[in-house]
Structure 1
């Protein structure tokens, strides 16, 4: 299971939408969203970031940096703000350890994420990850 981002105005929308779609439901009403949010908060360890909350499965040790999970296909591409800073920091370490430097780090990270373009918001998120990894 991967970490799942849930931001305050988006609160449980992403998580609830994924669960609803997995069950074949087309709509995700307020009661479903609220119930999913309550259950997830009780069941999973969370980390709160500026952009939202990430839920972690029990087998992920909170003391270690989670590995970066590359998208398997186009359908599994995640936006930079749907990935925790700790997972993005793992990606940054991989890219930098391969000898990539300077501006090229951002573009290499974006390619690994499966992003078609490196937009300003994604670049800022990647910069935050580089900072949290101790590279900036």
Structure 2
């Protein structure tokens, strides 16, 4: 069982564009969420505003996590295909990257190979390694070059991110971030946006 820390080690730089440099969950309670109107044309502005709020607060973040946030605001525990399809309609203008753990949504023009790491604002904002964009993990590697001299850089990187037990899939992701951080990995590419639906 992994136990992420909520404090950022002093050797990790945090995102300057966030008020406190920490990853926070978007508070959507200010919206009047109406599950009965979710699929109505007239409700599209509310959905668009919810999507924009999540992206403003949490991006880059995985698309499925964004969809979960909006679904939970409507009281749904599951995020089925129809719900996701409705939310995806409002993601056309945002940048995307495809990673091993899924698609990440970014603010327009913000995609980069390196993005300052955002430690969790609290326990509820903890992110598993697959939920952290490679750009953030790679930035930790780049900011801590001595990490590469460790016998097991991936394990040390996991500890820096607050993860004690490292699963095989997470290790592969960290290895990829380490390669990018040292300059061996490929640059990030923007995934094509969804085609317009008429």
Give the TM-score category using the shorter length: 0.7 to 0.9
- 5+ residue gaps, structure 2, are 1-56, 185-198
Number of the residue aligned with 2:13? none
Residues 65 and 86, structure 1, Cα contact 8 Å, conserved in 2: yes
- Give the deviation of 1:63 after TM superposition: 4.8
Measured against aligned partners, the alpha-carbon deviations of 1:3-54 in whole angstroms (never above 9, x if no partner) come to 1124xxxxx4x331122223443343322111112322x1311112243211
Residues 141 and 182, structure 2, Cα contact 8 Å, conserved in 1: no
**Which of the numbers 131, 138, 156 marks the counterpart of 1:108?**
156
Measured against aligned partners, the alpha-carbon deviations of 1:91-119 in whole angstroms (never above 9, x if no partner) come to 111232xx332235323321232223112
Measured against aligned partners, the alpha-carbon deviations of 1:41-84 in whole angstroms (never above 9, x if no partner) come to x13111122432110123x6335621111122222221212222
**Which of the numbers 87, 92, 101 marks the counterpart of 1:51?**
101
- 5+ residue gaps, structure 1, are 7-11
Moved over 4 A (4+): none
Residues 142 and 182, structure 2, Cα contact 8 Å, conserved in 1: no
Residues 17 and 28, structure 1, Cα contact 8 Å, conserved in 2: yes
Residues 92 and 105, structure 1, Cα contact 8 Å, conserved in 2: no
The structure whose Rg is larger is 2
CA RMSD of aligned residues (A): 2.3
Q: Does 1:87 align with 2:87?
A: no
TM-score after normalising by structure 1: 0.75
How many residues are treated as equivalent by the alignment? 126
Higher helix fraction: Structure 1 or Structure 2? 1
Q: Which has the higher contact order (CA 8 A, sep 6+)?
A: 2
SS at match of 1:39: coil
Distance in 2 between residues matched to 1:22 and 1:93, nearest whole Å: 37
Distance in 1 between residues matched to 2:142 and 2:134, nearest whole Å: 12
